[in-house]
Amino acid sequence: MAIGRDGSRASRLEVCLRAAREYQLDPDEAREIIESHISTINSQWTDAADAAHLTELERSQLWGSQILNPSIHCGWPA
């Protein structure tokens, strides 16, 4: 699914930030939302994995691959 009108489909945070205005968000507001989501995922991951009864293997397979894969940060403003 394209994120922006330009057809961008990459699963990267900077693509979402570039498309912010198309979703009626100020880029600063969008950045705050993105950073808040990242913070929440980091702080709540263990509880979510516990609630889903994930094994240690499942947790390690998901974290960093499906959950907060490092590639999402490519091009992300520091």
CA distance 74 to 17: 12
Read off the pLDDT of residues 9-52 as tens digits, 9 standing for 90 and up: 888 999 999 999 999 999 999 999 999 999 999 999 999 999 99
Q: What is the pLDDT of residue 13?
A: 94
What is the value of pTM for the model shown? 0.83
The pLDDT of residue 77 is above 80: no
Q: Which two tokens stand for residue 4?
A: 């922006």
Q: For 1-78, where are the alpha helices, taking DSSP H only?
A: 13-18, 27-51, 56-62
* 5 against 78, higher pLDDT: 5
Sequence-separated (6 or more) residues with CB below 8 Å from residue 67: 41, 45
